[in-house]
Amino acid sequence: MKVKLDENLPLALVNALSSLGHDVDTAIEEGLAAEDDDTVWSATQHACRLLVTQDLDFSDIRRFHPGTHCGIILVRLRDPSRRALIERVRGIFASQSVEEWVGCFVVATEHKLRVRRPE
């Protein structure tokens, strides 16, 4: 799966997800740190990547309607420490068929995954 990690996620996730067989790049490595959301979004879609982010600006499903993009995973943890983020995101990619989430809007909390699929 082609994945882009937003700048608000630990860079250690690159190795964690790559070791699971995913093609991972980051907003930081691409020089998109501190760029506006539209620039990050455009680069992500141009590369046909699933965006993994904590940024609530990507939570508006009217703007990011399922089926109109390559997919979004919005990570919302009560304790968004570096360790918790790495464990949760790695756990999701290790246990779920994320390839099926192309075009979906997914919200991941500590214990739940809500997947909104294209209609």
pLDDT in tens, 2-18: 999 999 999 999 999 99
Domain ranges of the chain: 2-116
Amino acid, single-letter form, for residue 82: R
Q: Are 50 and 70 in contact (CB under 8 A)?
A: yes
Indicate the pTM of the whole model: 0.96
Distance CA 110, CA 119 (A): 26
- The pLDDT > 90 percentage for the chain reads 98
SS3 40: helix
Contacts with 95 (C-beta within 8 Å, 6 or more apart), sequence order: none
pLDDT in tens, 61-100: 999 999 999 999 999 999 999 999 999 999 999 999 999 9
Contacts with 35 (C-beta within 8 Å, 6 or more apart), sequence order: 27
